[in-house]
C-alpha cells in the first residue's frame, strides 16, 4: 500500500499536468520544494554574493551529508558531494592502486563509461578484466562470481540497475562474496538510488556511486560517492586540492580522513542544496513506499505492453525496476521516441554502445526506454498504450 499521496506529489510536480514523463532514468522532474530551495539560494547569491550566501546556508548545506547517509544507512562522514555518478565512480576507481596482473571483476550489464575505464587501465597498466556471465534470469551469476575469485582479484565492480534493462543485480549476494574474500567492492547505484532501498551495511560495498538527477529527483550536475570509512581510509584520490588535503609544510600535505577527500573545493552549492532537499523529500516519503509504487506502475506497464502484438518487452532479471525497455517491430526506437514526444510523452532510446555487452548478449541494437517514477499513474500508462496502438 502506498502511504504517501500520489495526487499531492503530482501537484508538487507542475509539468505532469501537460506531459507524461517516462524518462526518469534520464532525468526525473524535480519537485517544487527542490526548485524553490535552489531559486531562493540563487536569489541570495544575487543579492549578497556567493561566498556570503555559502556562509549563511552553511547548516542547510551540511545537512546534505546527513540526509544522504540516512537514505543509504551510512555515516555522514562517508559521503562526498560530486557533479555526477561518473565523477563519483571515477574518483573511487582511480584511487584504488591497481597494478599489472591485477584482476577487475565486472558484470555483463556494466555501464559503458565504467567498462571504458577498465579497458583504459588494461591498456595503461595491463590489468585484466573478467566479466562474470549472467545466470538464467539475466542477473550476475553468483556461483560463477565465487568461482572466479583468485588472489589476483583486487576489485569487484558492478552495476546495480543497468541503464537499458529492467533487471536488478543481487548486490547483497555479491557483497557477501567480496566481504568473505576481503576484496574491494564498487557498486554503480546510479539507477537504483532513489527507486530501490539501499543499505550499504547489508550490501557491504566499499564504494557506491550515484547521480542526483535521476530517481532522486535532484538537479542536473549533481551526484554523490559513498566511501566506507573502514576500508577506504588508506586510499588516496588521484588528484587532491586544498579541500581534500591541507598543505601543511613546504614539502608535505595532509589528506582528509573522511569521504570529502573525494570532493574538490569548488562546487555548485545551489545544486548541492537542491539535491539535499530532494533526498530529504524522498526520506520523508520513505524509499520502501516509493519502490512499491514504482514496481506497481512498471509491472502494469510491462503487462500492457506485452499484450501488444508489435511490441516486445526486453527486460530481464528476476526482480525488475522502474526501467521498462521494449522494441517496436514496426518502427525504430528513435522514430517511436519522436512520435511520443510530439504527443507530449517523454521516453528515451537505449543504444548498444551504452551497455555493449548486455545489448549484444540479447541481440539488441536499440530499444525504447520508458522509465517510471512514483508520480506516474496507471492512467498515464493507458494513454501511452493507446498512442502506441495508433502508431
Ligand X SMILES: Cc1ncc(COP(=O)(O)O)c(C=O)c1O
Show contacts with ligand X in window 158-187 (CB under 6 A): 159, 162-163
CB of 126 to ligand X, least distance (A): 26
> Given candidates 37, 194, 219, 223, which one binds ligand X under the rule CB under 6 A?
223
C-alpha closest to that of 143 among 114, 170, 183: 170
Backbone angles phi, psi at 362, to 5 degrees: -100, 10
Backbone angles phi, psi at 111, to 5 degrees: -75, 145
Residue whose cell numbers read 530532494: 278
- In order of 191, 216, 252, the CA distances from 358 in angstroms are 16, 25, 46
Q: For residue 371, state whether it binds ligand X (rule: CB under 6 A).
A: no
Q: For residue 321, state whether it binds ligand X (rule: CB under 6 A).
A: no
Q: For residue 92, state whether it binds ligand X (rule: CB under 6 A).
A: no
Q: For residue 85, state whether it binds ligand X (rule: CB under 6 A).
A: yes
Q: Which stretch binds ligand X (CB under 6 A): 78-86, 193-201, 300-308, 343-351?
A: 78-86
Q: Which stretch binds ligand X (CB under 6 A): 84-92, 128-136, 200-208, 382-390?
A: 84-92
> Given candidates 74, 211, 244, 264, which one binds ligand X under the rule CB under 6 A?
211
Query: What gap in Å lies between CA 141 and CA 169, rounded to an integer?
Result: 9
CA angle, residues 13, 290, 345, in degrees to nearest 5: 45
Number of residues that bind ligand X (CB under 6 A): 12
CB of 4 to ligand X, least distance (A): 26
Task: Cell numbers for 45, please give them.
Answer: 547569491
Residue whose cell numbers read 538464467: 136
Query: What gap in Å lies between CA 28 and CA 22, rounded to an integer?
Result: 8
Q: Which stretch binds ligand X (CB under 6 A): 79-87, 140-148, 245-253, 370-378?
A: 79-87
CB of 114 to ligand X, least distance (A): 7
Burial of 229 (0-12, 13-18, 19+ CB in 10 A): middle
When the beta carbons of 12 and 114 are compared against ligand X, the nearer one is: 114
Q: For residue 206, state whether it binds ligand X (rule: CB under 6 A).
A: no
> Given candidates 191, 291, 325, 348, which one binds ligand X under the rule CB under 6 A?
191
Query: What gap in Å lies between CA 313 and CA 197, rounded to an integer?
Result: 25
Residue whose cell numbers read 550489464: 109
Q: For residue 9, state whether it binds ligand X (rule: CB under 6 A).
A: no
Query: What gap in Å lies between CA 189 and CA 210, rounded to an integer?
Result: 5
Q: For residue 287, state whether it binds ligand X (rule: CB under 6 A).
A: no
When the beta carbons of 85 and 364 are compared against ligand X, the nearer one is: 85
The residues that touch ligand X, with contacts defined as CB under 6 A, are 84-86, 111, 159, 162-163, 188, 190-191, 211, 223
Amino acid at each position: 500500500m502506498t502511504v504517501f499521496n500520489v495526487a499531492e506529489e503530482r501537484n508538487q510536480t507542475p509539468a505532469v499536468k501537460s506531459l507524461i514523463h517516462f524518462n526518469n532514468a534520464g532525468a526525473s522532474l524535480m519537485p517544487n520544494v527542490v526548485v524553490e530551495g535552489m531559486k531562493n539560494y540563487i536569489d541570495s547569491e544575487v543579492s549578497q554574493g556567493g561566498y556570503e550566501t555559502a556562509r549563511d546556508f552553511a547548516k542547510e548545506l551540511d545537512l546534505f551529508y546527513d540526509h544522504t547517509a540516512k537514505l543509504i544507512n551510512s555515516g555522514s562522514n562517508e559521503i562526498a558531494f560530486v557533479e555526477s555518478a561518473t565523477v563519483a565512480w571515477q574518483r573511487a576507481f582511480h584511487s584504488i592502486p591497481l597494478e599489472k596482473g591485477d584482476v577487475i571483476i565486472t558484470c555483463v550489464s556494466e555501464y559503458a563509461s565504467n567498462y571504458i575505464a577498465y579497458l583504459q587501465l588494461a591498456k595503461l597498466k595491463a590489468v585484466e578484466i573478467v566479466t562474470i556471465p549472467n545466470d538464467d534470469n539475466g542477473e550476475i551469476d553468483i556461483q560463477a562470481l565465487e568461482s572466479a575469485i583468485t588472489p589476483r582479484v583486487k576489485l569487484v565492480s558492478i552495476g546495480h540497475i543497468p541503464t537499458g534493462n529492467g533487471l536488478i543485480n543481487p548486490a547483497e549476494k555479491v557483497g557477501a562474496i567480496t566481504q568473505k574474500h576481503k576484496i574491494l567492492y564498487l557498486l554503480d547505484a546510479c539507477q537504483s538510488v532513489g527507486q530501490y532501498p539501499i543499505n550499504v551495511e547489508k550490501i557491504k560495498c566499499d564504494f557506491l556511486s550515484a547521480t542526483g538527477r535521476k530517481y532522486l529527483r535532484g538537479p542536473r550536475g549533481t551526484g554523490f560517492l559513498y566511501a566506507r570509512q573502514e576500508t577506504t581510509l588508506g586510499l588516496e584520490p588521484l588528484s587532491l586540492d586544498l579541500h581534500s588535503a591541507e598543505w601543511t609544510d613546504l614539502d608535505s600535505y595532509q589528506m582528509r580522513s573522511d569521504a570529502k577527500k573525494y570532493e574538490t573545493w569548488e562546487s555548485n552549492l545551489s545544486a548541492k542544496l537542491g539535491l539535499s532537499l530532494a533526498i530529504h523529500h524522498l526520506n520523508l516519503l520513505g524509499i520502501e513506499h516509493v519502490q512499491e509504487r514504482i514496481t506497481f506502475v512498471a509491472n502494469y506497464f510491462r503487462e500492457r505492453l506485452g499484450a501488444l502484438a508489435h511490441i516486445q518487452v526486453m527486460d530481464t532479471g528476476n526482480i525488475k525496476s522502474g526501467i521498462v525497455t521494449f522494441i517496436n517491430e514496426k518502427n525504430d526506437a528513435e522514430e517511436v521516441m519522436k512520435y511520443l514526444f510530439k504527443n507530449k510523452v517523454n521516453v528515451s532510446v537505449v543504444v548498444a554502445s551504452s551497455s555493449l555487452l548486455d545489448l549484444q548478449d540479447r541481440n539488441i541494437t536499440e530499444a525504447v526506454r520508458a522509465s517510471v517514477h512514483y508520480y506516474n499513474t496507471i492512467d498515464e500508462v493507458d494513454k501511452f498504450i493507446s498512442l502506441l496502438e495508433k502508431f
